[in-house]
Amino acid sequence: MIRIGVDVGGTFTDVTALDSATGRFHVVKLPSTGDDQSIAVTEGIRLVLADADATPEQVDYLGHGTTVATNALLERKGATTALLVTAGVADVLEIARQRRPHLYDLFADKPPVLVPRDRTVPVAERIGASGEVVRELTDAEVDRVIETVRRTGAAAVAICLLHSYRSAGHEQRVEEALRERLPEVFVSRSSRVAPEFREYERFSTAVINSFVGPVVSRYVRRLSERVAATGLPVGPRVIQSNGGLASPEAVAERPVTVLLSGPSAGVVGAGYLAGLAGHRDLITFDMGGTSTDVCLVRGGRPRSASERGLGGYPIRVPSVDVHTIGAGGGSIASVDGAGGLRVGPESAGARPGPAAYGHGGTQPTTTDANVVRGRQNPVSALGGAMPIDRVAAERAVGTVAEGLGCAPLEAARSIGRLANSHMARAVRRVSVEAGEDPRDYVLMAYGGAGPLHAAEVAEEVGMTRLLVPPNPGTLCALGLLVSDVRSEFSRAFLRPAEAAVLPALNETIAGVVAEARAWLDREARIATRHTVTVAADARYPRQNFELRIALPSDELDEAALAAAIADFHAQHEKSYGFAHADAAVQLVNIRAVAHGEVAKPDLPRLPQGGAAPDPAALRETREADFGADHGTVPTPVFDRAKLLAGNTIAGPAIVEQLDSTTVVPPGWTATVDEFGNLLIEVIR
């Protein structure tokens, strides 16, 4: 059988197929098709099947990562959306959390609201904090509201009423009337999209869901049709921000769940591969052309966040907690008037790209610095398919050398050191914010440029182990092959954890669990094992943040509740160094996590070799630079494709492959493991 993963990026669509019969990967890269991503997707499927010499009927799994929703939001090319909101507080989205976007830049702007005031429709109704009706929603008001929506010509509507997380009746009535009378309009209601308290974040999530809804619905419908037309017996499954898969139908209904999915497939793939090799505590380091994504994985599980932002808008949806900084291979270097060097966040992007790529770029980038130093192949890239213009790179880096008043080589080193220093700060940040010491972690480097920089970033942070996967440039596509089906359902509860609330608590749990099971039944037919786990977001009263504690998924009795409370105190102690053992605990949200485990493919193993690589693996020896301490030295360059398990390479060395280059500096040693990962360690 064949598994296929298709990851669509801004420039390229990556397709990876794993043939379980041969244990071989087949990889295809083709230009993305901007207007309709599904064209490149299906074309890629066709090409990869041809490469694997397989037929469509053999495919039993198709994982897909898409940027359709993300682009629609970032480029603000979503649907014309109307907002229905409790009368009196119609400006919740305008006022937001009343913070300005930048402390010192007086010219920074807030992101524009997605629904302007003239498409905002106040609804005469009011629910109170305990769910009681303060102002009745009349039928006449519902009629009026729908008429108003009709007049705005909106293609999508978000229904956002106060306290609907506690009492959704009013929102539901408006929704039903809308669906009945304006069936062509895309409708989201906040009590369904993100049923948690704090109106700005809930409303923002619902509005974004509607804004991108029609675009995403159209896309997944077309995608499903095209995939069916290729003869595949299975439909696509789409990766979400939480790293789990969902059906096209589920995504069409809650597109907000895929907005931050971009880097999540890579983290899932990294966690899986590293786990197979026995590494469970990782910091993922995905360095691409314009940015670097960093994420902490502890005990095999990526850290998750219940809320993240995109383009300045908060999105209240569980996501893999990736920290992104604007430093990548295309980051532009310059010298300011006071003699300070800058690297990024401005980027040369894919076009014109680094000067070395010969597409007309003239500004010096991190990539150009690597070419000048001989770390990146100064003759060609992509296995010879793309010529590298070393002279152009030197010319570009020369401008920085002039600004700094130093030799070009020194300037190239400086660019590398400063870029590494920015990335080291990001690595420190994701670890110290989790209360972890990065030195206890393995740095997992991928993305086209990650393995080029990882060792020096690790050195800066004091980390001593790196792991570079077999195909660093297509790890996201691998992640799509090993993702599980996953979703989360929550209800606001906001009551004290005490015996008196047990009946209400059990009812709420039963409700979310039923919702989760129904979803699994619908969604997880490809999964072998279904589980539903229950958790609560809990806090001490008046705290403004919550900790997640596990609850049993069946009925709670007093003893089980007491255990959960004890667990909360213990976790608080562990996370924050103190607990109020006598204080009351409030249960804010009840969550059910639906998990459908998908059988993992058996990944190919490398044949065992000796400690020394086959002489044929040595491609060349070229001058490469390792900084002021080690200088520019003749460096053996190995062909990754010819390395075998057990091979050991002492730094200085370079390992080249189609989609990436790995640098092993002096003082480090690389060992190839049975899965083809390079484990690179400091020599003690």
Partner 1 sequence: MTTDRTVDQVTVQVIGNAMLSVAEEMGAVLRRASYSTNIKERADCSTALFDARGRLVAQAEHIPIHMGSMKGLVTELLDTVGADGLRDGDVYITNDPYTGGGTHLPDITMAAPVFLAGRLVGFSANIAHHSDVGGHVPGSNSGDSTSIFQEGLRIPAVRFMVGGTVNEEVVAFVTLNSRLPEERRGDLLAQLAAVHTGGRRFADLHDKYGSETVVAASEQLLEYARKRLELAVGAIPDGVYTAADWLDADEPGQEPIRVRAAVTVRGAELSVSFDGTGRQANVAINVVRSALEATVYYALKAALDPDIPANGGFFDAVAIDAPEGSIVNPRSPAPVAARTDACQRIADVLLAALAKAVPDRVPAGSHSSITYVTFAGTDADFFVYPEVIAGGAGARPDRDGLDAVQVHVTNSSNLPIEALELEYPLRVETYELITDSGGAGEYRGGLGVRRDIRVLADHATFSAHADRQTFPPQGLAGGRDGSTGRFVLRPGTDTEQVLPGGRVSGIALRAGDVLRIESPGSGGYGDPHARPAESVAADVRQGRVSAESARDDYGRSDA
Strands (E) in 228-307, as ranges, are 237-239, 245-246, 282-287, 292-298, 301-302, 304-305
Which of 297, 385, 331, 286 lies closest to 7 in space, CA to CA? Answer: 286
Intra-chain end-to-end CA distance of the chain, in Å: 45
Chain residues 172-211 in contact with partner 1, contact rule CB under 8 A: 197-200
* Residue 675 within binding range of partner 1, rule CB under 8 A: no
Indicate the SS3 state at residue 8. Answer: strand
* Residue 170 within binding range of partner 1, rule CB under 8 A: no
Nearer of residues 105 and 139 to partner 1, judged by Cβ: 105
Q: How far is the CB of 79 from partner 1 (least distance, A)?
A: 19
Which residues neighbour 618 within 8 Å (Cβ) at sequence distance 6 or greater? Answer: 636, 637, 638, 639
Amino acid sitting at position 518: A
Half-sphere exposure of 193 (CA within 13 A, CB side): 35
Q: Kindly write out the interface string for residues 123-152 of this chain, putting x where it contacts partner 1 by CB under 8 A and - elsewhere.
A: -----xx----x------------------
Select the span of 24-32, 309-317, 423-431, 513-521 touching partner 1 (CB under 8 A). Answer: 423-431
Nearer of residues 266 and 408 to partner 1, judged by Cβ: 408
CA 281 to each of CA 74, 87, 449, 571: distance values in angstroms, whole numbers, following the listed order: 33, 50, 22, 20
Applying CB under 8 A, what is the total number of residues that bind partner 1? 65
Q: How far is the CB of 456 from partner 1 (least distance, A)?
A: 11
Nearer of residues 37 and 205 to partner 1, judged by Cβ: 205
Nearer of residues 167 and 290 to partner 1, judged by Cβ: 167
Are 595 and 530 in contact by the 8 Å Cβ rule? The answer is yes
- The secondary structure element, H or E, covering residue 171 is helix 169-181
Select the span of 93-101, 233-241, 602-610, 658-666 touching partner 1 (CB under 8 A). Answer: 93-101
Q: Kindly write out the interface string for residues 627-666 of this chain, putting x where it contacts partner 1 by CB under 8 A and - elsewhere.
A: ----------------------------------------
Q: How far is the CB of 440 from partner 1 (least distance, A)?
A: 15
Of 24, 77, 117, 301, which lies in the binding site for partner 1, with binding defined by CB under 8 A?
A: 117
CA 445 to each of CA 50, 368, 374, 645, 670: distance values in angstroms, whole numbers, following the listed order: 31, 20, 20, 19, 13
Q: Kindly write out the interface string for residues 565-604 of this chain, putting x where it contacts partner 1 by CB under 8 A and - elsewhere.
A: ----------xxxx--------------------------
Of 92, 160, 208, 538, which lies in the binding site for partner 1, with binding defined by CB under 8 A?
A: 92
Select the span of 20-28, 157-165, 172-180, 652-660 touching partner 1 (CB under 8 A). Answer: 157-165
Strands (E) in 9-58, as ranges, are 12-19, 24-31
Show the tokens assigned to 595. 């998990």
Nearer of residues 57 and 437 to partner 1, judged by Cβ: 437
Chain residues 480-519 in contact with partner 1, contact rule CB under 8 A: 494
Which residues neighbour 604 within 8 Å (Cβ) at sequence distance 6 or greater? Answer: 23, 24, 25, 675, 676
* Spatial separation of the C-alpha atoms in residues 33 and 677, rounded to whole Å: 32
* Residue 116 within binding range of partner 1, rule CB under 8 A: yes
Strands (E) in 288-428, as ranges, are 292-298, 301-302, 304-305, 308-310, 313-315, 319-320, 323-325, 331-335, 341-347, 380-381, 386-387
* Residue 94 within binding range of partner 1, rule CB under 8 A: yes
Q: How far is the CB of 320 from partner 1 (least distance, A)?
A: 20
Chain residues 319-358 in contact with partner 1, contact rule CB under 8 A: 336-341
What is the spatial order of strands in the sheet that 186-189 belongs to?
120-123, 81-86, 156-160, 186-189
Look up residue 676 and give its DSSP letter.
S
Phi, psi of 296 (to 5 degrees): -90, 130
* Spatial separation of the C-alpha atoms in residues 115 and 142, rounded to whole Å: 20
* Residue 432 within binding range of partner 1, rule CB under 8 A: yes
Select the span of 109-117, 481-489, 606-614, 644-652 touching partner 1 (CB under 8 A). Answer: 109-117
Q: Kindly write out the interface string for residues 376-415 of this chain, putting x where it contacts partner 1 by CB under 8 A and - elsewhere.
A: ----------------------------x-x---x--xx-
Show the tokens assigned to 364. 């010096």
Binding site for partner 1 (CB under 8 A): 88-92, 94-100, 102-107, 109-110, 116-118, 128-129, 134, 162-163, 165, 197-200, 336-341, 404, 406, 410, 413-414, 417-418, 421-422, 424-425, 428-429, 432-433, 435, 460, 494, 542-545, 575-578
